[in-house]
Amino acid sequence: MHYYQFNIGDYKSHTDHLDLLEDLAFRRMIDWSYLHESPLPLDVNVIAKKILMRTHTDSIASVLEEFFHKTEDGYLNKRITSEVEAFKSKSDKARKSAEARWNKVKAQSEGNANALRPQSEGNAKQETLNTKQETLNKKQASDQSAKANHSFELFKYWCDVMGKNISTSKLTPKRDKAIKARLKEGYTIEQIKAAIDGCYNDPFSMGQNDRQKPFNDIELICRNGEKLESFLGSTVQQTGNKRDINAIGTDFKTVPEGFNRKVLY
């Protein structure tokens, strides 16, 4: 037994006359008897060793004489013996009850084996369908993630071209929505990058206007298809950087008349 009820009042009323060593010996002897569910050894010296009171055999002998009775098997305490037997009986009943439940479940399982087989097959089919659906969901999530990466790639490119600080500039929901909308319409990443270059090379958009205010936000560049295409007609050129327009491709939705596809210096 690893647990037993301890009635403080009852114990105190029967042990008030014990000295400190006798009280300590009695408590340890009680604990040992419950823990091992067996009588205390007949040899007082062995008891003293087991309860770690080797030099206090007199106190142990005094407690044995008053609270325990000697049998062929060892020293017993009436109350401890009664509670240990009750515990063993309860544990035995619980064990038998558990065995009965287990045997019943086992019999039902064996009897229903054939009936469960179709259900198992159905479960297998359902698991296959679930697996396919999970694969589809992962693919859709992967596609969405790829689009999100394209959106950030274009935002980062815009920051680089416009001299924005990537750590302080944010890909706001409004900017992200505009970029993704143009990608969804079929504009390529290179086309949008070309439009960003075109905006950079447009003096008016960069702030050389009567309001002395730049109109070069990526949300403005990607606001709609027409706006995006208007920047594609601007000279694709950056200071100290050569860009080959031919590398962009010729599949623009609208190619302004006179658009010059050359390497500009």
pLDDT attached to residue 50: 94
Instruction: Show which of 66, 91, 116 is a domain's final residue.
Output: 91
101, part of any domain: no
- Residues paired with residue 69 on neighbouring β-strands, in sequence order: 76
pLDDT attached to residue 55: 94
Cα 149 to chain center, whole Å? 25
pLDDT attached to residue 221: 94
Q: Are residues 150 and 234 in the same domain?
A: yes
CA 241-244-250 angle, 5° bins? 145
Strand blocks (E) in 52-127: 69-70, 75-76
What's the N-to-C CA distance of the chain in angstroms? 92
Q: Give dist(CA 228, CA 220) in Å, integer.
A: 8
Q: Are residues 82 and 14 in the same domain?
A: yes
pTM of the prediction?
A: 0.38
Number of domains in the chain: 2
pLDDT attached to residue 34: 93
Report the chain's C-alpha Rg in angstroms: 44
pLDDT attached to residue 256: 43
Mean pLDDT (10-residue bins), the chain, 265 residues: 86 93 95 93 95 94 94 93 88 82 76 59 67 71 63 94 91 94 94 94 92 94 93 57 41 42 31
Domain range for 76: 8-91
Contact 178, 158 (CB under 8 A): no
Q: Give dist(CA 78, CA 244) in Å, integer.
A: 102
173, part of any domain: yes
Strand blocks (E) in the chain: 69-70, 75-76
